[in-house]
Structure 1
């Protein structure tokens, strides 16, 4: 008999976390905060492809550092991660993992080099894609938790509108990586320069239900999130803490004291923390969390709703606007 079955039990689950964003969005700092929560003893390794920029944080965090230089072939990332594990790292940060895709000697460069040597497309992609696949297989077997910082570009598309007019349609922030990379992540987040370190849940992200309370809407990624993730990976049940529960279910009550006054007639008491039970409750809860990210996000959320769901939310629109305006004033923290 070649297979042995045992009752399913979560233990020593590998974590793959991706933080994507433009320059200034807080990727590196957030990754280090998350890592410190996962490994309070500082068993953290930092693979730096950004000309030693990770060392900017050496006075604030305890970690091992390695300077990775081109060419950024997939096998070099495998080599670096295995070396980090051998050094005793519990968490490995790769900043920036985007170099494996479009950095000097990355798989795009590799495909171009083969094309210049006469290998016709799509044959020039065969070796680079195979190497990338081997890297992903190695990452999935890694026993340390991995945090990937990824660059992101704000993409647009040109479309024809009414009367044949040319229109520019924003597509949002798109991480720079091989197209299937994000599917392998345990969780992924998009950060923006406007609100550094705060996941934007109206932008591309991946977050399982059992992890959602670890990342309250409108709150920066924290050590506490890392601690809860690590406990979950070890097999512990991690119920929402009182603070996380309040953050997830109240739109403005946890906002810090600000020089700006709270919205007239609403300080958060209008947003009860009871678990939603009906369709209206669930929709309202989703809208409240979006409102915590500010007015721009709330408008985009409203625009995406169909007419029926807009009618369900109409009695609450004013309070949602007030909450979004207050989030604008306080930075949504």
Structure 2
């Protein structure tokens, strides 16, 4: 394993195209605030360097491998240097760029607030009819308070919003636009505020939940003002017992909702690991003919409407005794 190179990366900054800027130390970062349309040149300086790689908000900037990088958008920039052997340095300290998009005088660094939001599902494997919660988290990454903060979340069409007591003063829900709005008077630095949103699954399919945040103050980093979570709601609830005894009730292995899948593959395996039944595009018609009572193992693969194969595995008990 290559050892980390001991290259020291210095970020000296040169301003071009604009002299209207301010400089301060904000939120632990050296911060430059410029007007919209201006640019700022970030200059990496290290010894014995063959190449550089620049990053914005921790994401590699494609093609930005020169000593100098010209930035014009808000974000936190850093750089890694590589020597002739391709060994990387430690990532440099971040430099924050704030862009004043409102025109006029450059925004003062002590009036900008970096808000962030996230959304997390409490039940990534929810099924139709299940109720579960999303946890919305609003945070402030800046040293000054964020005020008049508003978080919005449009409830996906295959979910229904279930209002909870105690949230009426903070949360408003527009039934027409399906938009939930969470109002927060103030968020202080690194003091995250959480909201639990209860929903119920109506129909199977892909659930894409997107949440946004905004506030009164100028926000220098818009990348963390939006977050989303995507999960698949599976339509199949597979019974683990069927009774093929000729009484007309539960005589075949039926999987409700299987018809919602375009393609299926069902395999039944006995306790010794032998495949005793296999069917493509299964039609809920296996009656266990020739099989003794006992426990079997099933493997079901089903292609959903998105073209993705979902897999189900479990145990199935075959009973012939009349009750």
Q: Which has the higher contact order (CA 8 A, sep 6+)?
A: 1
Structure with a larger share of its residues in helix:
1
* Greater Cα radius of gyration, structure 1 or 2: 2
Q: TM-score range by the shorter chain?
A: under 0.3
Structure with a larger share of its residues in strand:
2
Give TM-score scaled by structure 1 length: 0.23
